[in-house]
Amino acid sequence: MTVSAHTLGCKLNFAETSDTLRRLAAEGHTIVPWGQRADLYLINTCTVTAVAEKKCRAAIRQAHRLNPGAQIVVMGCFAQVAAEEISKLPGVTQVLGNDSKRLLSYSGEDRTRIFFKIQDGCDYFCTYCAIPYARGRSRSATIEETLCMARRIADKGAKEMVLTGVNTGTFGQQHGESFLELLKQLDKLEGILRYRISSIEPNLLTDDIIDFVAHSRAFLPHFHIPLQAGSDHVLQLMHRRYDTALYRDKLLKIKSVMPDACIAADVMAGFNGESEEEFAKVLSFIDSLPISYLHVFTYSDRPGTAALKLGEKVPVSVRHEHTARLLELSECKHKAFIDSQLGKTRPVLWESTQHGGTMQGWTDNYIRVGRPYDPSKVNTVEEVTLTAANTIKEAASD
């Protein structure tokens, strides 16, 4: 049977899709690129925004057009919260919720860099978010079970591992273990040269974790710390578990022990109650922080979330305007961060993909670098002096 897959949403979804395809291939099925005719289409969905759900429906329609007789299996977060709606779409033969996914999974298309799912679910119930309903409560395997999978990944030759999850900082809580304990054990694992933490809530990013990363063997000076709003009033409306003072303290702590660290932040534009005055606070707060780039999301209503009951909705046109201004600020921040690194020498892990005769890699602090393609460099780490010519300044996507 030929199988084609399409993934929407977060790196966690990509890891889960990759794991599913790997198992299907091991069973003898042929994996073909998305867009080709196949016997089975697997669509891993996202529900974080209304736009994401629209893309999910479009992917289902595309698969049905490619082969009206094919099986179409829809899985993931949108499938979890809208199973009945999806099951009525033409061509859909099966809808699988997130409880059908395995707890530990990883992506494996490029042996250089692996996304490793270590945790799933969330207990936070932020007012704008449907993820706890889509993925359930926070859960993870034990440290020993996680290390066992990590050893298998290391044996495949990957040099860098990105730890992914819905709320990674809650790893191990159900077993009386902790995320920091896992980091310490992973750091001892032979074979993996570099680790990144894909995202961690600011209230869960302890000083002990920051200090450990700063002095560890393999954990890199790169943090993704969701902010969502730079206004205490809006953070309270969102039911976030920190305020702007705590967020600032975490970033300053990182920079005090890792001055060249890259710090990314998620920010939501146009949440209910975000007046022009509050938005001005957001811009001012972010501008004052040592943030390297932003992931900007435009707020959209999610069915069943508490945010629907909040007043003072921001007009859609204003939400898009706020998004554009945050993206502009992100570009300025990213340029300033790269400029601050020019002339410095950083370790770069080179990837296998060719880009018009060149190859690319990432520094430890997440700056993309290019050089003429050399197959002997693939999956190796090289010290590179950063210049205006070899750095690639497009916005980071991780």
Domain boundary among 58, 85, 100: 100
Between 14 and 286, the more confident residue is 286
pTM: 0.83
- Under DSSP, is residue 71 helix (H, G, I), strand (E, B) or coil? strand
* Same-domain status, 57 and 114: no
Q: Is there a single domain that holds both residue 66 and residue 131?
A: no
- How many Å apart are CA 122 and CA 109, to the nearest integer? 27
Residues 53 and 23 in one domain: yes
| Average pLDDT over every residue of 138-149 | 94
Residue 14 in domain: yes
**Which of 68, 100, 132 is the endpoint of a domain?**
100
Q: Checking phi first, is residue 103 left (phi over 0); if not, alpha (psi -120 to 50) or beta? A: alpha
Mean pLDDT of the chain: 92
Residues 13, 82 share a domain: yes
Pair (59, 143) in one structural domain: no
Residue 180 in any domain: the answer is yes
Shared-domain flag, residues 126 and 93? no
Whether residues 108 and 96 share a domain: the answer is no
pLDDT at residue 102 above 70? no
Lowest average pLDDT, out of 10-19, 154-163, 179-188, 281-290, goes to: 10-19
Better-predicted residue by pLDDT, 299 or 48: 299
Q: Is 242 inside any structural domain?
A: no
Predicted local confidence at residue 135, as pLDDT: 82
b/e burial code for range 372-381 (CB count within 10 A of at least 16 → b): ebeeebbbeb
Is there a single domain that holds both residue 383 and residue 357? yes
Whether 132 shows a pLDDT value over 80: the answer reads yes
Nearest-5° Cα angle at 286, 285 to 291: 140
Chain CA centroid to CA 342, Å = 27
pLDDT score for 387: 97
Q: Name which of 102-111, 126-135, 249-258 the model is least confident about.
A: 102-111
Distances (CA, A) of 49 to 45, 55, 128, 296: 11, 10, 10, 12
Count of beta carbons in the 10 Å neighbourhood of residue 63:
28
pLDDT higher for 347 or 78? 347
The total number of structural domains in the chain stands at 3
| Structure-token pair, residue 183 | 């980091």
Q: Is residue 20 part of a domain?
A: yes
What's the pLDDT tens digit per position in 71-82? Answer: 999 988 888 888
DSSP character for 43?
Answer: E
For 40, half-sphere exposure in the C-beta direction (CA atoms, 13 angstrom radius) is: 14
* CATH number of the domain to which 134 belongs: 3.30.750.210
Give the domain range for residue 137: 103-220
- Cα 147 to the center of its chain, rounded Å: 21
Calculate the alpha carbon distances from 252 to 201, 207, 263, 338, 346 in Å: 16, 11, 11, 19, 22
Identify whether 269 is part of a domain.
no
Place of tokens 């002095």: 215
Q: How far apart are CA 239 and CA 140, in angstroms?
A: 24
- Specify the pLDDT at position 24: 87
CA–CA–CA angle 177, 203, 304 (5° rounding): 95
Query: Is there a single domain that holds both residue 51 and residue 126?
Result: no
Residue 110, pLDDT score: 59
For residue 334, pLDDT over 90 is answered with: yes
332 occurs within a structural domain? no
Q: Which two tokens stand for residue 148?
A: 């066992």
Mean pLDDT, range 32-43, rounded to an integer:
93
Q: Do 87 and 130 belong together in one domain?
A: no
Tell whether 310 is covered by a domain: no
What pLDDT does 397 receive?
Answer: 57
Query: Could you give the strand order of the β-sheet that contains 381-385, starting from the edge strand earlier in sequence?
Result: 381-385, 345-355, 358-363, 368-372, 391-392
Give the end of a domain, one of 71, 100, 129.
100
Q: 109 falls in which pLDDT band (50, 70, 90)?
A: low
Residue 33 belongs to some domain of the structure: yes
Q: Among 8-12, 253-257, 371-375, which is the least confidently predicted range? A: 8-12
What residues contact residue 368 under an 8 Å CB cut-off, 6+ apart?
Answer: 360, 361, 362, 391, 392, 394, 396
Tell me what the mean pLDDT of segment 223-229 comes to.
97
Please compute the mean of the pLDDT values over residues 251-280 and round it to a whole number. Answer: 96
The Cα–Cα gap between 258 and 151 comes to 28
Domain shared by 84 and 112, yes or no: no
User: Of the ranges 118-127, 146-155, 301-310, 330-339, which is most confident?
Assistant: 330-339
Amino acid at 206: T
Rounded average pLDDT over 50-56:
84
Check pLDDT > 90 for residue 131: no
Does residue 153 sit in the same domain as residue 81?
no
283 pLDDT tier (thresholds 50, 70, 90): very high
Write the CATH number for 65. 3.40.50.12160
